[in-house]
Structure 1
Amino acid sequence: MRTTRRSTMDTITITKDNFQTEVLKTKGTVLIDFWASWCGPCRMLSPIVDQVAEEHPDVKVGKINVDEEPELASQFDVMSIPMLVVFKDGQKVNESIGLVPKEKIVELIQ
């Protein structure tokens, strides 16, 4: 499933079923946004993550709803959301917890 955005880039909905293919087997950079619909800071961060996705087409951007994917949230020790995790060539290389400005997200994916 993909969420629709205004641009031609899509943010991928990541689930336990597609995590291996979309994240671990991807060559290059993947930014994952762990979020929940009831989380105010998550709702504020989401459009910023979408902007980063639009401005960095070389980075795959995925979103994981922690309520729908508790196994993935547990696997990455998600205790607070929003939480951003960066993978490069299938390896976790960076993370950020809480509402952060766009500049910080860009730094994370560099």
Structure 2
Amino acid sequence: MSAPYSSDEPGRAEVDAMRGPVLLEFGDNFCGFCRAAQPAIARALEDRPDVRHIKIADGRGRPLGRSFSVKLWPTLVFLQDGKEVERLVRPVDHHPVAKALRALADSPA
């Protein structure tokens, strides 16, 4: 598995103020779906070093995940300048992730 999910999450106001392309990945280090999705996510991000990728440990009582209405893991939220552009839940292949990353590049700055 790539870098672990961090329990140190930014606040929603901080996320909303982030400039540029950002991928928020909500999940858990022990989640089988999260672990299975890692190769697809990593492959899609290979060509996008400009995207800030933040892995957030989610769960009951975690405010950032609740503010994005996360219900299943992993949930990927693609943001451009703090605004949600795309969302994927439980990706198993890199193609949908790459497509969502292209949507970030195509969204107005």
Q: What TM-score does the superposition give when structure 1 sets the normalisation length?
A: 0.74
> Are 1:15 and 2:9 an aligned pair?
yes
Shift of 1:39: 1.1
* Number of aligned residue pairs: 100
Counterpart Cα distance in 2 of 1:84 and 1:69: 19
Q: For structure 2, which runs of at least 5 residues remain unmatched after alignment?
A: 103-109
CA distance 1:47–1:91, change in 2 (3 Å): same
> Are 1:50 and 2:42 an aligned pair?
yes
Give the structure 1 partner of residue 74 of structure 2. 82
SS at the partner of 1:30? strand
> Are 1:30 and 2:22 an aligned pair?
yes
Shift of 1:20: 4.2
Root-mean-square deviation over aligned CA pairs = 2.6
Q: 1:43-82: per-residue Cα shift (whole Å, max 9, x none)?
A: 1112332333332111111111103871111111111111
Counterpart Cα distance in 2 of 1:70 and 1:103: 29
Q: Is the 8 A contact 1:45 1:100 kept in 2?
A: yes
Shift of 1:32: 1.1
Q: What TM-score does the superposition give when structure 2 sets the normalisation length?
A: 0.75
Give the structure 1 partner of residue 88 of structure 2. 96
Give the structure 1 partner of residue 31 of structure 2. 39
SS at the partner of 1:109? helix
Q: Is the 8 A contact 1:34 1:83 kept in 2?
A: yes
